[in-house]
Amino acid sequence: MSAESIVASPKRRRRDEVRHIAWLWLGLTILLVLFSIWVPARLMGPPASPTMRAVESTMTVFSIAASPVAALVWAIAIYSLFRWKSRGEPTEDGPPFRGNGPVTASWAIVSSVLCVFLLIWGLAEMTSTTSPAEASNPLVVNVTGQQWVWTFSYPDQGDVESDQLYLPLNRPVVFHVSSRDVIHSFWVVQMGIKVDANPGVTTKTSVTPDKLGVFDIRCAELCGLRHADMETSAHVVNPADFAAWITQNGGHT
Amino acid sequence: MTAALVDQPVEPVSTAGGMLRRLNLVTAIAGGLILGLAGWLISHSLLQDDDLGSDQVVLVTLSCWAAGFMIGIGALNGPIGWALGRDLRHEDELFLAGKDQGVARYFRFTTDHKVVGIQYLVVTMVLFAFGGTLAMLIRTNLISPHSHFLNPQTYNAIVGLHGLIMIIATIIMVTGPFGNFIMPIMIGARDMAFPRLNALSLWLIVAAIPTILSAAVLGGIPTGWVGYAPLADQAPPGMDAYSVFIIIFAVSSAVAGANITTTVLTMRARGMSWNRTPIFVYGTVASVGLAIPAFPLFMASQVLLQVDRTQGGQFFVASGGGSPWLYSNLFWLMGHPEVYVILIPALAALMELTPVFSRRPLFSFNAAVISIAGIVGLSIMVWAHHMYASGWAPDLNGPFMLTTEMISVPTGLLFLVILGTVWRGRIWTTVPMMATYAMLWNFIIGGITGIYLSDVPADYALHGSMFVTAHFHYTLMGAGLTGAIGALAYWFPKMTGRMLNERAGYISFWFVQIGFNVTFLGMFAVGLAGQPRRVVTYAQLFAAGNFVSTIGAYSIGIGMLVLLYAVINSWLHGQVAPANPWGAKTLEWTVPNPIPLENFEVLPVVTSDAYGYGEEDEPASGIDPEREPVLAGASADLGPRPVGASNVEGGP
Amino acid sequence: MTTTAEVPVPGQHHDDVDAVGRRQLTGVCLLILADVAFVGALIFSYFYLRGLNTSNAWLSDGAATAPIWVGWAIAAALVVSAGFFRWALAGLRKGNLDRLVSGIGVAVVIVLLDAAAQVVQIMSFSFKPDANAYASSVYTLAGANLFHLVLTGLVGLGVWNRARIGKYTAADPWQVHIIAIWWVWIAVAGIGGALTTSFIASPNIGS
């Protein structure tokens, strides 16, 4: 117990330590929240679908929710490195307390609450990002992966085939994804959707593109020699332009 | 001269050990080469194929190599002797344990757990050196989108090899060296429960390493370390080397897991009840115990893959009724427990050393044990979060999201245990303690990024991207490998009898940790922006982030070379270590350096746990590093008991 | 860690036989756990592929199948051998060493004959492993069972030889006891394999 004897007023000193850590915690939390608001979603680029918008807000919200947790751990760690550091080998022991029931319990409860929040948020997000496209009159696109190209065909438009994806603006799309050889993964980057292309079965994913432009399609599952080159483009165009493109390629709308 | 000799009794030529006297690493390699060559010739002529390295031939040859190696090292002598009824005499056991053999015992089928621990340490370092070199090649290729340093074929082969070698190295990096060398002494045992199985597990890995290296010349592993079928069905014979390696490794880890678990369950010192058992022991048992049911699933996946590759089987071929989802389910049923097999012992080692360098009792021992148990329990129920986007069972994504996010609760408790331990401690910032701080930084980042990936829609956007690569490097390297380096620096004086060069240790620490964060924060950025994993080249958009990552990786490389230098130099010429340089209270620090063959002259009886810093009934620690083990009076309930030793093992 | 020392007993260097026996039992049970996971993975693979029936090709129309009774016969022989082994163990517990040797001997002979029967079954399947997923699965399960039988036969020969030269006594039956547990497990695994391969046609036809 020699650790206590050298301190004039241990109680006050302990209060000061907690206060300093609280300030450090607050400061780090503010920095991390600012980081969460500005950085992760921005790195993901402008969203091209409600799905991607939902994913980006998830990234921001989860980052904000995690900020006080990370800030607390780092605040205590950083503080201990400066305030409680011993010069060389310590000549005395620290206080011998072996735990603190209320602290442990609240730590577990708070992390459980955060965990429940993550789950509810995730389930709500899953519902909102999958249901709309299945609702009404979706455009069906068959996506076929093979080493190392993507092929898109439009079964309801006279089986028009293309190696570039054309989609009309604001119409829900359902992709029926399959593969001719190994596993590929169909990923429309700016729309935030991805599903594996498996040989022998058809998997589905859906999205409603809501931004005009050209977006990236990449293969996200290592599929052999030219995996890195298995890229193509998704063109989101006005419905009239889409109809024109279909007709031009021998299909009907 | 003659007179002096006549007076001395002539030493009889010792026959202890029998045939094992003549077997060592050289005969093992010879046996492996002879049987491997025979297997190659026979299978090649039987199959009458013109292609010298078909899948069948490679499978037979590599299996024969491993069998020949194990025969040559003497692994079969024990079972055959047992079957013939020739039980070991005491001097045979001592020979097997490496008595009076000097350095030669490190190159034999030696059963002493300390020898096996050192062998594991060297094997781990060799694997890291190889896997790290491959990492440098990968990052060099990715320094710019137009580097063309590696062609796509070589690149894919290297990516798979790097992944697999690093996974194996991280699996054994803590439970191999420290679980074998330190843990038995920590629990007050004279050796492991099954010393011969211990040697077997080590030499199986040694036999397997050349097979995985042979993949490099057999076309590599172009599938990534996961070996996903059906890409694996069409891969070159390097894939057969992968299968043989995994099958041998799974046997080795089952044997090691059964051995370590039995040791802890049955051989703890008298008085070492579960609440006095050090937390590192819990971490070790949790890891190897989790591996026992997990790795056989990996082994099964490779058996099925070999049926596909060599017998034309249809397990993973969709047109024949097979399914790639079978492979990915078997793989991840092993694969997710496996990341905790890697992490738990590393975190437990840090929890073990944090009280020593904080001079504080471990904060909430019970919470630490509960959280380890919780992680183990949940880890077998989360595998399909690797398969959210695979389409195998979209309706299960919600439940798997739940179990995955629940793991953050026990993991969070581990942070509390460490923070509570440093709270108002007397922090001694040695290299091992710095590893704890680095873990606190890195593992928070690794954990939080894991939460994004556990969220199903966010995972749809991020799965298969560099974001995932950065995330698991933050956990397995930032927390796992950092913990293992901390453990190495902490136990180095006990294992080698010399202090690890502190200055070199700090230099290495900062190069590695700063380089690590630069590398993988850059990788997070390009992953969020949409760069896929395992690509040989990428869009111009990602050029800046990749350049930064590569520079960071070189810094890690420099730091690791410094660490390698520090280890070799300190091992050979370092300052001689006192028995207990850190003033720690676990049992391994009570035995002298060098540690005698059976560790304890007299077996200790434990009357308290190892975390009594600052408590009344003990003198303050850290004052006299050379002091004798504290011998307090035995509690009344501890009656006399025969002194145990554990060099016997008659079972099959 | 506060410790006290035990008084060393000169010359005594081994734990008592029951401590060693229990330790070995623990270790073997853990190894059996690993084998349970392995066999379980093979059985899981069978039912998973059968349930998925990808491309309707688990067992295409008219494809050859293995007669169910052969698998059950091999499993039944395994059960009988395990029974003999346990009978031998019970004899050892009563101190009847002749019964020990003869019981183990019969058990080993049955297992080795069973292994031969398993080889004959594998050679005489009316399909090749590349026919369909069913065929691959049946071959693999049969192969795993053969591996069990051969391994057990070798261990059985060893324990028979040791019993013959008098290594076991009623006071230390641990090794025989432990091997009996292994024997029961491979019988259970054999039944598991026979049961699995009794479910042939996929319930998931069409689509």
Query: Which carries the bigger pLDDT value, residue B646 or residue A188?
Result: A188
* Strand partners of residue A153: A142, A161
- Domains identified in chain A and CATH numbers: 2-134 (no CATH), 136-248 (2.60.40.420)
Q: Which residues of C68-77 are buried (b: 16+ CB within 10 A; e: fewer)?
A: eebbbebbbb
Q: Is the pLDDT of residue B273 over 70?
A: yes
SS (H, E, C) chain C: CCEEECCCCCCCCCCCHHHHHHHHHHHHHHHHHHHHHHHHHHHHHHHHHHHHCHHHCCCCCCCCCCCHHHHHHHHHHHHHHHHHHHHHHHHHHCCCHHHHHHHHHHHHHHHHHHHHHHHHHHHHCCCCCCCCHHHHHHHHHHHHHHHHHHHHHHHHHHHHHHHHCCCCECCECHHHHHHHHHHHHHHHHHHHHHHHHHCCCCCCCCC
The answer to whether A201 contacts chain C (CB < 8 Å) is yes
Are B208 and B129 contacting, i.e. CB atoms less than 8 angstroms apart?
no
Contact B146, B537 (CB under 8 A): yes
E-strand ranges in B13-165 read none
- Count of structural domains, chain C: 1
pLDDT in tens, B499-510: 999 999 999 999
Strands A173-179 and A139-146: parallel
Assigned domain for C15 exists: no
Answer whether B146 touches A (CB < 8 Å).
Answer: no
- Distance between CA atoms of residues B610 and B584, nearest Å: 8
Q: Looking at the predicted structure, is the pLDDT value of residue B8 above 60? A: no
Q: How far is A135 from chain C (nearest CA, A)?
A: 23
Task: Write the Ramachandran bin of B578: left for phi over 0, alpha for psi from -120 to 50, otherwise beta.
Answer: beta
Mean pLDDT of B285-305: 95
CB of A135 within 8 Å of any CB in chain C? no
B315 in contact with C, Cβ within 8 Å = yes
* pLDDT grade for B531, boundaries at 50, 70 and 90: very high
Residue A184's DSSP bridge partners are A197
**Beta carbons within 8 Å of A216's beta carbon, 6+ residues apart:** A188, A189, A190, A231, A233, A234, B530, B539
Angstrom distance (rounded) from CA C154 to CA B184: 32
Is C133 domain-assigned? yes
Residue C107, domain extent: 44-52+64-198
Whether residue C111 is contained in a domain is answered as: yes
Nearest to B623 among A91, A94, A119 (CB): A91
**pLDDT tens-place string over residues B131-151:** 999 999 999 999 999 988 999
Quick check: is C77 in a domain?
A: yes
In this prediction, residue C1 has a pLDDT band, given cuts at 50, 70 and 90, of: low
Polymer length in residues for chain A: 253
pLDDT tens column, B51-104: 656 888 999 999 999 999 999 999 999 999 999 988 888 888 888 888 888 888
Q: Is the pLDDT of residue B633 over 80?
A: no
| B533: contact with C, CB 8 A cutoff | no
pLDDT above 70 (res B469): yes
User: How confident is the model over B478-495, as a mean pLDDT?
Assistant: 97
The CB density around residue C188, as the number of other CB atoms within 10 Å, is: 17
Which A residues in the span 177-196 are in contact with B, Cβ-Cβ below 8 Å?
177, 181-183, 185, 187, 189-190, 192-196
Are B321 and C59 inside 8 Å of each other by CB? yes
- Asked whether residue B517 carries a pLDDT value surpassing 50, the answer given is yes
Q: What is the mean pLDDT of residues C152-161?
A: 96
Each residue's pLDDT tens digit, B333-381: 999 999 999 999 999 999 999 999 999 999 999 999 999 999 999 999 9
Interface of B with C in 155-194 (CB under 8 A): 188, 193-194
- Measured CA to CA, the distance from residue A27 to residue A16 in angstroms comes to 17
Q: Where are the alpha helices (DSSP H) in B147-217?
A: 152-172, 177-186, 195-214
For residue C129, the chain B residue with the least C-alpha distance is B313
Res C62: pLDDT:
82
DSSP, res B474: I
- From chain A residues 96-155, the ones with a CB under 8 A of any chain B CB are 96-100, 103-104, 107-108, 111-112, 114-115, 118-119, 121-123, 125-126, 129
Cα dihedral B124→B129→B134→B140 (10° resolution) = 140
| Cβ-contact A99, B363 below 8 angstroms | yes
Is residue C46 less than 8 Å (CB to CB) from chain B? no
In angstroms, the CA B412 to CA B347 distance is 12
Give the pLDDT of residue B120: 97
Calculate the average pLDDT of chain C: 91
pLDDT at B225: 93
Classify burial at B512, counting beta carbons within 10 Å of its beta carbon; exposed 0-12, middle 13-18, buried 19 or more. buried
Using a pLDDT cut of 70, give the percent of chain C over it: 92
Taking residues C129-158, what's their average pLDDT? 96
Query: HEC states along B548-587?
Result: HHHHHHHHHHHHHHHHHHHHHHHHHHCCECCCCCCCCCCH
> Shortest CB distance from C136 goes to which of B313, B602, B603?
B313
Pick from C16, C135, C158: CB nearest B642: C16
Give the phi and the psi of residue A196 in degrees, each rounded to 5: -70, 145
pLDDT in tens, B35-51: 999 999 998 888 766 56
pLDDT at A11: 86
> Which of A93, A225, A229 is the closest to B153 by Cβ?
A225
Short-list C32, C45, C19, CA closest to C193: C45
With contact defined as beta carbons under 8 Å apart, do B291 and B340 qualify? no
List chain B residues with CB under 8 Å of C172.
none
Per-residue pLDDT at C158 exceeds 50: yes
Give the pLDDT of chain A (253 residues) as one tens digit per residue. Answer: 444 445 557 888 889 999 999 999 999 999 999 999 999 999 999 999 999 999 999 999 999 999 999 999 999 999 999 999 998 899 899 998 899 999 999 999 999 999 999 999 999 998 888 765 566 789 999 999 999 999 999 999 999 999 999 999 999 999 999 999 999 999 999 999 999 999 999 999 999 999 999 999 999 999 999 999 999 999 999 999 999 999 999 888 7
Chain C residues with CB under 8 Å of A200 CB are: 54-55
Task: Report B:235-254 residues touching C (Cβ under 8 A).
Answer: 254
Report the pLDDT value the prediction gives residue B406, as an integer from 0 to 100.
93
CB-based contact B464 A77, cutoff 8 Å: no
Q: Decide: B31 and B71 in contact? Cβ < 8 Å.
A: yes
- Encode pLDDT of B538-553 as tens digits: 999 999 999 999 999 9
Tally A–C CB contacts below 8 A.
3
CB contact under 8 A, B427 and A226: no
Q: What CA–CA distance (Å, rounded) separates B459 from B389?
A: 8
Taking only the tens place, the pLDDT of each residue in B104-134 is: 899 999 999 999 999 999 999 999 999 999 9
pLDDT of A251: 85
Chains that touch C (3 or more CB pairs under 8 A): A, B
Record: contact A228-B623, CB cut-off 8 A: no
User: Considering only alpha carbons, which residue of chain C is nearest residue B253?
Assistant: C34
Contact C162 B330 (CB under 8 A): no
323-352 of B, contacting C, C-beta below 8 A: 323, 325-326, 329-330, 333
Q: Could you give the domains of chain B?
A: 18-84 (no CATH), 110-573 (1.20.210.10)
Gap from A126 CA to chain B (nearest CA, Å): 6
Give C 123-182 residues with CB within 8 A of chain B.
128-137, 139-140, 144, 154-155, 157-159, 161-162, 165, 167, 175, 178-179
Chain A residues closer than 8 Å to C54 by CB: 200-201
Instruction: Give the CATH number of the domain where residue C118 resides.
Output: 1.20.120.80
Kindly state whether residue C97 falls inside one of the protein's structural domains: yes
- The reply to whether residue B652 touches residue C175, judged by beta carbons under 8 angstroms, is yes
Q: Kindly report, residue by residue over C80-103, the tens digit of the pLDDT.
A: 999 999 999 999 999 999 999 999
Chain-chain contact of C3 with B585 (C-beta, under 8 angstroms): no
Q: Is the pLDDT of residue B623 over 50?
A: no
The set of chains that have 3 or more CB pairs under 8 A with A is B, C
* Span B449-458, average pLDDT: 94
pLDDT in tens, C106-127: 999 999 999 999 999 999 999 9
